[in-house]
A and B are shown apart, each in its own frame.
Chain A
């Protein structure tokens, strides 16, 4: 850690402990020392060096809906009538020169959109018939159609999008954000991860904190089974016994503190209290059954299941409680057409059906609670799909290969202009041709909306100041 920052934190901890010591006199039980990790990093820092936040934020929370596997922009938002006309023709050689594909070999055929498009809302956004619910909130979102990345395989592209580097070892966006801003709720982790249909191919390290202290790693919560690893008491130890045992631990630790004066013990005491509180607060917030029936209906949520709809509803509840960053991963968007159910026709239609109602409900629900202005919702995959048909198996299932040159994402709330579209791709949706937005630009923009300057949010590791956007990234000014 940057030595200076470390010193600042140490000092803050020390002062907090002294404060704590004074409070100690009036009895242990009444104490609530929020965990240090939930304190914003820059709170006590020299305002000239790193103001907290760097400037006035528009968003306070992020809900990131990552469609792992990469949905096809060509069936959903990036309508290309020309591609329809070219359907079935050989792809011109000029388009293939110098390109690397994950699976396409030889000369593929062009594949027209498999869905039908209509314009929606006052903004006239083109949206596919795969997303009937979402079409209704067209004016609440901002589309970026010219997204691009440098990676064409899933795990590296997911890492690249989430951590700024295609390889493991860097902190992810959620970790950077809690490192920069802390969390608003001291009873819950600041960064929570929710998975549906298997999550990601990148594995758990994608919500790791990399070289940032492990307190900033994402905490995976489950809507089915144990909500957080080790949160539930083991069988045979009930809540009363757990309460009594934590009380005993803290009594002994207090005696130990009296004997040794090590202030770290006070932190430990508070962490045990927090752990105990989390045993109630986490299941409470995870209990989506507590929502009124019409809300559950709105999302299509079924308590007790592991589903994307449940995760969306849960995301709203978590944000409501002050959780800073909620990351959702839904697997099942890798539509190669390797089999009949895995194409951009039925396969993609099914996946859309799985999320359509829930993403729409999330926007409407946040809006009706007045939370949308300060909650940034981001939806998208790690790259896009090719306008060419993949035909890997030689059979004509309608699949598309990975395409790093163009994909569409949308954002809503959190200070983003709504009802607009940024960027444009060529006539077949193969690559961006106007206002291209790199994934580092997207990261810079998300941090900007949170009031963080992506060039100043750094961490010293191996002698170098690292940041989420590496040495790149420009804020997309037109949407903020």
Chain B
């Protein structure tokens, strides 16, 4: 490399490098704070002089603290004068009681010299790179001669420059088959199926790589693939976590994410909707569902726990998650004390928490507030029922028709004073009430002296309250109704008696609806709204379970619905019965109930300190004209071009998904404890591109990345590359990484043709989960046609997730996960070899292979279906060898039952058994479990 060439390239990026690192092009004697000094402070000083401890009143974490007078009354650093700076003098002290770092080895001579020189040169402090906005208009380095075969677009110029610096050169382009499979897996998470193989993988295929990329990006499976990434961040699961780990109906959020990626909803909008969709003007159903992002935090139904404690725990978790997801900034430490290494103060955490502290939800069983929406398949029915009223009933009985279908339904029932409440829908209860698995949808399991509370019930016109209940006891007990407090005036009472008999252990829920009967209590005339308490009293005998309660109906004097025709009443009942999906969402408390936010001393909610208001961390406030005042402002700020991190962070996540490693390797941490970016200019260039050229749309960004020469390189490596670039940090070759847990299973069921490719809908219970019937939520899909849906639809139970996914390093989704650590274990081998479902997939693939005549052709076809490649002679030989060995063995031994059941002819049986074994081997090859 000619020196002049280097110089030109360096010059182009010069101003940027100065801003970012101020290191490359400085005269050699200039010390850089970020490059030279901060690492020493972090490693050797901050333990005692940082965010947790500031011994001697010296902290080297914040610029303003470092130059303040210390305990001695004088600042430790005197810029320009190392000999007068205590900081320096204490490093060279001979007396071990004075010499720093105390009770630790001294700094090296080199380190001491650097610190001395830094002070002498004026002790200039620098912000950490991540807190400086990406410079706008970053330019890619100039073209270098003879690299045109490699250059796909500007990304490659950045990569090439680094490769040159490291003495590396790019790999040749991957062969077409490999590249196409890579694209399928990266863009849709699925391998090509048989027809796609025919369309794109034959030598005569007229489709260019660009065509393929465009069609994959437009595929509905694109959204599923990228949703998998986002769901780890959103800690999405189908249960609430903690001890009870009850089910949670929140799958609509997953579908929202899939739809958003498919529609290429701009990332800023996507973010704002999830963080503050409820505060947007007239939010749509979709925007409200988006807020379920933060309803994925865990909640605790364990008996005897304090709801406020766990409400606060989830708000704290939401703050940490928000910073991790959008800022790759870990805030967990700041909960208890100022950040030990990064410029975040203890109060900063709670100021951010103030934005999130006014969400209405409060760790209740019922998870209110929730948004009811109709299932797609019921929308038509609901609409036609509502239509019926407007066509057939007098208009003075009916409310104006506005809002979503469910809003219209609610307005109609309200106006007609048809009032009924699901039994679970209460706000508080005594500890003796348990909710029956799995849905909390139906029943209380009540014991003597239990009670429940309903808030602000309008009793004005109420004459009777009906309790729809079931019991096997002759006289199960009484329900009494009390006003305003548990021991308040009794305004009604009824007796619950035997409704029938059903099978099962004492306490199982009644098997049929017709075992329920309504028991009505006369209600004393009461005016206005009141909190009411229902108390339950033991009857003539005592066992643990008294009765089950399904519903509570309120009967009003002269309720308008009584004036409906009989048909009208029937229609009303039908409308009431149409099932809905009820998704927990975020709703802001109105200002009169707004909560105050306090700094918690050492993170304990029991020790509130100073009260704080909504504010973003100090470090981000510079040059910020207006500070965000509420959650919506905060969300806007987070994805504004003023924010130094959001664009870089999402670019980094996408990069990591595609290359197996982020430009910043520590996905979760861009702070000083994280890794430095391998290609800082490229990261900033991509971030700028996303914000300014693509207006936060991710599809063009993904497209640009996969069309780069960098991406399209072959993943093969040689010994030089193993030495110089073992982790592919410098991108000297294409990605070769093990697929994610979901991709491995999805790939197997796609190739074998078992995949049910439907997109979206409720989560699926598969037999492998071994969830007992009594714990299956009624909204989940359980029919066999859904067993082979993509993995992201499998019911996710936090305390017991699908073992096959955990084995391949998926997290349990209790908290936000930025990065899955890939392991390589014998349990993974056993899983792919012996799992019954995977054997089924092997057999399905064997049947496809068996379509061909000779076993050579069958094996060739199998290998092609699995890899999109032609098998080499040597590999074919190994596989044929196995086939021959197996067919011989199977002449004298049992073949798998699944084959025997289906295939009657014996020679076919043996062939298929041998092919199943071959398919099983194909599904265990390294080239199958990795993307290369």
Contacts and interface: CB of A to CB of B under 8 A. Distances in A.
A230 B835 contact: yes
A168 interface: yes
A256 B827 CA distance: 22
Contact of A242 (B673, B833, B926, B932): B833
B166 interface: no
A462 B830 CA distance: 31
Interface in A246-282: 246, 248-249, 251-253, 255-257, 259-265, 267-268, 271-272, 274-275, 278-279
Interface string A207-225: 0100001110101000000
Given A237-B917, A462-B332, A464-B333, A231 B926 contact: no
A261 B722 contact: yes
Given A252-B921, A462-B320, A213 B823 contact: yes
B798 A168 contact: yes
Question: Max chain B CB contacts within 10 Å: which of A249, A251, A268?
Answer: A249
B571 interface: no
Interface in A151-165: 152-156
Interface in A349-401: 393-394
Contacts of B806: 208, 214, 217
A50 interface: no
Contacts of B542: 393-394
Interface stretch (B53-61, B248-256, B702-710, B712-720): B712-720
Interface stretch (A59-67, A198-206, A430-438): A198-206
B526 interface: no
Chain B binding surface SS class? loop
Given A203-B800, A204-B800, A208-B812, A168 B717 contact: no
Nearest to B920: A245
Contact of A260 (B324, B717, B814, B825): B717
A169 B245 CA distance: 13
Interface stretch (B13-21, B268-276, B871-879): B871-879
Nearest to B300: A167
B544 A214 contact: no
Given A236-B895, A261-B717, A462-B320, A275 B874 contact: no
Given A37-B823, A241-B917, A255-B872, A152 B304 contact: yes
A267 B824 CA distance: 7
Interface stretch (B578-586, B640-648, B779-787, B885-893): B885-893
A100 interface: yes
Question: Max chain A CB contacts within 10 Å: which of B245, B669, B917?
Answer: B917
Interface string B796-817: 0011100100110100101100
A234 interface: yes
Contact of B882 (A167, A248, A463, A464): A248
A244 interface: yes
A234 B920 CA distance: 11
A263 B727 CA distance: 11
B242 A167 contact: yes
Interface residues of A, number: 77
B834 A230 contact: yes
Nearest to A37: B825
A232 interface: yes
Query: Which of the four size classes fits the interface of chain B?
Result: 35 or more
A214 B807 CA distance: 7
Contact of B834 (A214, A231, A264, A394): A231
A253 to B, nearest CB: 5
Given A168-B798, A203-B799, A238-B893, A153 B243 contact: yes
B461 interface: no
A345 B542 CA distance: 23
Contacts of A238: 889, 893
B839 interface: yes
A264 B824 contact: yes
B878 A236 contact: no
Given A213-B821, A275-B830, A264 B738 contact: yes
B675 interface: yes
B304 A237 contact: no
A214 B823 contact: yes
A272 B812 contact: no
Contacts of B799: 168, 202-205
A414 to B, nearest CB: 28
A279 B896 CA distance: 19
Interface string B668-680: 1101010100000
A462 B668 contact: yes
B726 A248 contact: no
Contacts of B803: 229
Interface string B323-337: 010000111110000
B826 A275 contact: yes
A271 B831 CA distance: 12
28 contacts: A10-B726, A10-B727, A155-B243, A168-B814, A169-B812, A203-B799, A204-B800, A230-B830, A230-B835, A233-B834, A236-B913, A237-B896, A238-B893, A245-B921, A252-B925, A252-B927, A253-B926, A255-B872, A255-B878, A261-B716, A262-B736, A262-B930, A271-B828, A272-B924, A275-B827, A393-B544, A463-B330, A463-B669
Interface of B: 241-243, 245, 298, 302-305, 320, 324, 329-333, 542, 544, 665-666, 668-669, 671, 673, 675, 715-719, 721-722, 726-727, 736, 738, 798-800, 803, 806-807, 809, 812, 814-815, 821, 823-831, 833-836, 839, 872, 874-875, 878-879, 881-882, 885-886, 889, 893-897, 899, 913, 917, 920-921, 924-927, 929-930, 932
Q: 8 closest pairs, A vs B, by CB?
A: A463-B330, A236-B896, A275-B829, A155-B243, A275-B826, A274-B826, A203-B799, A230-B830
Given A168-B799, A237-B920, A260-B715, 7 more contacts: A3-B675, A167-B814, A242-B833, A246-B833, A255-B874, A262-B717, A463-B331
